[in-house]
Amino acid sequence: MVTKTALITGASSGIGQAFAEELATCHTHLILVARSHDKLYRLAKQLQEKTSIHVEVIVQDLTEPQAAQKVYDRVQDKGLSVDLLINNAGFGDYGPFAERDLSRQLEMIQLNVTVLVELTHLFLSEMQQRGEGSIINVASLAGFQALPYLSTYSATKAFVLSFTEALWAENKDKGIKCLALCPGPTESNFFEAARFPQSFENKNNSSLTSAEEVVRDALNALDNHKSNVVTGKIMNNLIVNASRLFPREFLLNAIEKQFKPN
């Protein structure tokens, strides 16, 4: 399928920016959404200079009330239709749950889950009417396995994985592709935004995959009508399958030791 217009949330850095750069090289028009005005406009200018695509920028904090509807309305006002929706914006928050700020946990659920459901609902209805379209929801390796000290985050990603796989099955015969993208640790601003200590980042640097590789694997999986894709090192696939081989408490204890703050 030749994609005409893609809307990417969280396009100002990391995986979202890599999606924008890769899709621009495939001549896909773009709608970039995030909070960082300057980063979005800089990226839009750079992509438009390199290619002949049209890039719209929507500066929006997606945790604000009615944010998804506002994004949808802006797209309608500009007379655009979205062929590929990439629900990518998201963040984590590292540390013992009871010690973390509750409002940040709720904001995370709002961004990682509620807004993703809202945008999917708004744009999927249109895609169904047209009989074509694609949705990539960015879940995580964490969607397959509860992570102590990232408890709310891994729960949001389990939701995204389950939700998206169900939509894949509902829509596979309607000309619509739905993919749960499940990256393992990836080079981006994620670890800083989640407030991981530098020592944790340094220890795990070698297991990081580039955002570009994640995006290439995702677009291949979408082309191949997959319901989900685990990207990154081979170890990531082993982690997914570990939950089938080992008792749940065994894995939880092992991860708790690895993730425990010093």
Ligand X SMILES: NC(=O)c1ccc[n+]([C@@H]2O[C@H](COP(=O)([O-])OP(=O)(O)OC[C@H]3O[C@@H](n4cnc5c(N)ncnc54)[C@H](OP(=O)(O)O)[C@@H]3O)[C@@H](O)[C@H]2O)c1
- Among 60-68, 98-106, 144-152, 172-180, the segment contacting ligand X (CB under 6 A): 60-68
Dihedral sign, CA of 120, 122, 125, 127?
Answer: negative
Given the complex with ligand X, which of 91 and 163 has the nearer CB atom? 91
Bridge partners, 33 (sequence order):
9, 58
| Strands of the sheet with 133-138, listed across from one edge | 55-59, 29-34, 5-9, 84-87, 133-138, 176-183, 228-231
Contact call for residue 133 and ligand X (CB under 6 A): no
Contact call for residue 216 and ligand X (CB under 6 A): no
Given the complex with ligand X, which of 74 and 128 has the nearer CB atom? 74
Given the complex with ligand X, which of 175 and 233 has the nearer CB atom? 233
Considering only residues 51, 186, 228, 236, which one is a binding residue for ligand X as defined by CB under 6 A? Answer: 186
Number of residues engaging ligand X in binding (CB under 6 A):
28
Residues 204 and 192: their CA atoms lie apart, in Å, by 13
Considering only residues 5, 12, 134, 171, which one is a binding residue for ligand X as defined by CB under 6 A? Answer: 12
3-class SS letters over 73-127: HHHHHCCCCCCEEEECCCCCCCCCHHHCCHHHHHHHHHHHHHHHHHHHHHHHHHH
153 is catalytic: yes
Contact call for residue 108 and ligand X (CB under 6 A): no
Cα dihedral: 47, 114, 224, 11 (round 10): 10
Contact call for residue 127 and ligand X (CB under 6 A): no
Contact call for residue 137 and ligand X (CB under 6 A): no
Kindly list the residues in this chain that would bind ligand X in the complex (CB under 6 A): 10-16, 34-36, 39, 61-63, 88-91, 111, 138, 140, 183, 185-186, 188-190, 193
